[in-house]
Amino acid sequence: MAAVRAYALIGTGAVGVQVEAHVRPGLPGVSVVGLPGVAVREARERVRSGAASTGLPLPTQRITVNLSPADVKKEGPGFDLPVALAVLAASGYMGTGALQGVGAMGELALDGRVRPIHGMLSMAEAARDEGLRLLVVPLVGLAEACAVDGVHAVGVRDLREAVMLLRDAEKCDRFLERGRRWLRARKNVVTIDRGPDLADIAGQRHAKRALEVAAAGGHHLMMVGPPGAGKTMLARRLPSVLPLLDAGEALEVTRVWSVAGLHRAEAGLATQRPFRAPHNSASRAAIIGGGSPPRPGEASLAHRGVLFMDEFPEFGRDVIESLRQPLEEGLVVISRKAGSLTLPAAFTLVGAMNPCPCGNLMHPERVCRCTADMLDRYRGRLSGAVGDRIDLFIDVPPLELSAFESSGGLDDDSAVVRARVESARSYRLEREAFLGTPPPGSESGSTVGQSHPARLEARLGLSESARSLLREAISRHVVGGRGYVRALTVARTLADLDCVAGISAEHVAEALSLRDPGYEYRGASSAAVSW
């Protein structure tokens, strides 16, 4: 009998699985027991032909492979390599101690090549936590596995190499050295691509400023404008002004993307903040995640990045509602037969929409043909828990000629804006550290509404003139309770961008100009649709 460690994915995490192989006289064949998924049952065929083409034919005996614990569902082709190694060891191709403290992962091609699989990062982390002596991984996936500190990973091209290095400690060292060289060489060729840059956009300074504010304060953003105004183009550039992923965030992003099979294994860790733009016909499961085996949805794929929802009101009501949990808690919970699964989903939401379903509302020449009911339904998608969490609203007018007559030189590119965003964020942290721990659930983000207004204002450093302007806005019913808190938080972010302690009247006025102007459209619409 021989045994090796393998890993099964559960959400974005992995758990250890013991792969045992037993060879005994009987009808020749391989059977796999212990809750194997379809792909794992098929491993038999790939292992048999992979072994044969490597020149290590399986004995004509009865081979039983057991995967334990039996109650963990094992999915995907990643078990090919560990199953093959256990079988070969049980068949006498390796010494008894060869697999002691060894883990493995990888899919086998029919010719014995070892291919990368999904979720290698999470598996390598689990292997590290188990303190394995050696982790055998596909060579192309070495960068991803080695992103985990303290894991002893060795990369192999095919099954033959795996057997060779496990048989012979000296060979193992040579393969480890090859891996190190391989990683070093890779480092020099990988260029960090930051994605599209703000500098590509002519004009639209108002919208660019809103992106900067959204990035600095982690605010969600809604863009309202006619088709072709450049909303998609703007949203796509938000990741470029967010701070670069830090080491921990890079691990988080890579984990999700790798599990979803969207990460290029040879790329090591993710360097770019994700940008996801699901279509408005997407189902709830596509956004939140689910299925069997459960796959991360768009909300999780946008983790630490941007989730862009073009034509926001066209998304299903259930889809929009399902965003409530990620917006509140930065995660999604998928319930399944075998308990619920938590996936990370902390993203900045950027929505885009037309002023009305037909797009012509308030257009100087064109006529809007939407009924009041249609308008209400359209705008209604913005009310409720999810709409309430969108702090910033901007209008994106069609490109103007004047944008090309660049007044006052070129606008800032993404790197410059990002530097300001980073300084605003660190200013905010400094300020918060000075003020001490806020009462539970205050100030930052969505839970701000739970602080007493006077307390909140004092904490955020509202100046007298700013206060009276805000009071004026309340008394003129321009903002209500929630709008007040939103305006205050946005104004605080504007002050952070200026690195000043006090919120001035200018900050409040600008924050007010970034609020949802919906009511005015509605007021105007009754005239427009009076026919």
Partner 1 sequence: MVNAPGSATTRTYAMGRQADRPTSPGSLEAALGLALVAAEGTRGVLGLLRRHSPEEVWAAGRRDLLEWTEGRPWVDRFIDLRSRTFPREASSAVAAAGLVFIPWGSAGYEADLLALDLPPAGLFVKATPDAFDQFSVGARVAVVGTRKASDYGLRVARAIGRAFAERGVWVVSGLALGIDGRAHRGCLEAGGRSAAVLGCGADVIYPRRHRELYERVSSEGVILSELPPGVRPAPWSFPERNRLLAAISHAVVVVEAPRRSGALITAHRALDLGREVFAVPGRVQESVNEGSNRLLYDGATMCLDPASLVEDFLRFTRKETSPFLSGVRDHGSADSGESGLEQAGRLAVMALSAGPCSVDAVAGVAGITSREASAALGLLELRGQVVRVSPGTYGLSER
Ligand X SMILES: Nc1ncnc2c1ncn2[C@@H]1O[C@H](COP(=O)(O)OP(=O)(O)OP(=O)(O)O)[C@@H](O)[C@H]1O
Q: Residue 224 interacts with Zn ion (CB under 5 A)? A: no
Near partner 1 by CB under 8 A, which window of 7-15, 59-67, 328-336, 469-477?
A: 469-477
- What would the x/- binding string for ligand X be over residues 103 to 142, using CB under 6 A? ----------------------------------------
Q: Is 474 helix (H, G, I), strand (E, B) or coil?
A: helix
Q: Which is nearer to Mg ion, 76 or 225 (CB)?
A: 225
Rounded to whole angstroms, how far apart are CA atoms 136 and 154? 5
Near Zn ion by CB under 5 A, which window of 94-102, 186-194, 358-366, 488-496?
A: 358-366
Rounded to whole angstroms, how far apart are CA atoms 350 and 222? 6
Q: Residue 510 interacts with partner 1 (CB under 8 A)? A: yes
| Residues 289-328, interacting with Mg ion (CB under 5 A) | 310
Residue 220: CB minimum distance to partner 1, A: 19
- What would the x/- binding string for partner 1 be over residues 177 to 206, using CB under 8 A? --------------------------xxxx
The count of chain residues that interact with ligand X, using the rule CB under 6 A, is 14
Rounded to whole angstroms, how far apart are CA atoms 167 and 95? 7
Rounded to whole angstroms, how far apart are CA atoms 254 and 296? 12
DSSP for 232-259, written as a single string = HHHHHTHHHHSPPP-HHHHHHHHHHHHH
Near ligand X by CB under 6 A, which window of 29-37, 119-127, 155-163, 199-207?
A: 199-207
45: tokens are: 């065929």
Among 312, 431, 483, 484, contact with partner 1 (rule: CB under 8 A)? 431
Residue 365: CB minimum distance to Zn ion, A: 14
Q: Is 440 helix (H, G, I), strand (E, B) or coil?
A: coil
Residue type, position 479, single letter = V
243: left (phi over 0), alpha (psi -120 to 50) or beta: beta
Q: Residue 231 interacts with ligand X (CB under 6 A)? A: yes
Cis peptide preceding 439, ω within 30 of 0 = no
Q: Residue 493 interacts with partner 1 (CB under 8 A)? A: no
Among 232, 283, 444, 513, contact with Mg ion (rule: CB under 5 A)? 232
Q: Residue 358 interacts with Zn ion (CB under 5 A)? A: yes
Contact assessment for residue 355 and residue 362, using Cβ atoms and an 8 Å cutoff: yes
CB atoms inside a 10 Å sphere around CB 139:
22
Could you say which of partner 1, Zn ion, Mg ion, none residue 232 binds, taking C-beta under 5 to 8 angstroms by partner kind?
Mg ion
- Cα–Cα nearest to 317, from 284, 358, 354: 284
Near ligand X by CB under 6 A, which window of 137-145, 223-231, 280-288, 380-388?
A: 223-231
Q: Residue 356 interacts with ligand X (CB under 6 A)? A: no
Could you say which of Mg ion, partner 1, Zn ion, none residue 67 binds, taking C-beta under 5 to 8 angstroms by partner kind?
none
- Tally the residues of the chain: 531
Contact assessment for residue 392 and residue 222, using Cβ atoms and an 8 Å cutoff: yes
CB atoms inside a 10 Å sphere around CB 271:
16
Among 329, 430, 480, 481, contact with partner 1 (rule: CB under 8 A)? 430
Q: Residue 227 interacts with ligand X (CB under 6 A)? A: yes
Q: Residue 368 interacts with Zn ion (CB under 5 A)? A: yes
Q: What is the dihedral of CA 280, 286, 288, 293, to 10 degrees?
A: 180
Could you say which of partner 1, Mg ion, ligand X, none residue 201 binds, taking C-beta under 5 to 8 angstroms by partner kind?
ligand X
Which parts of 25-143 are beta strand (E)? 29-33, 62-68, 102-104, 107-108, 114-115, 134-138
Mode of pairing for the β-strands spanning 331-336 and 306-309: unpaired
Strand partners, 341: 334
Q: Is 17 helix (H, G, I), strand (E, B) or coil?
A: strand
Among 84, 214, 235, 361, contact with Zn ion (rule: CB under 5 A)? 361
| Residues 265-304, interacting with ligand X (CB under 6 A) | none
Residue 399: CB minimum distance to Mg ion, A: 14
Contact assessment for residue 80 and residue 106, using Cβ atoms and an 8 Å cutoff: yes
Binding site for partner 1 (CB under 8 A): 203-206, 209, 224-226, 229, 355, 361-364, 394-397, 400, 402-403, 407, 430-431, 433-435, 439-440, 442, 450-452, 454-455, 457-459, 461-465, 469, 472-473, 476, 478, 495, 500-507, 509-514, 517, 520-521
Binding site for Zn ion (CB under 5 A): 356, 358, 360-361, 368, 370
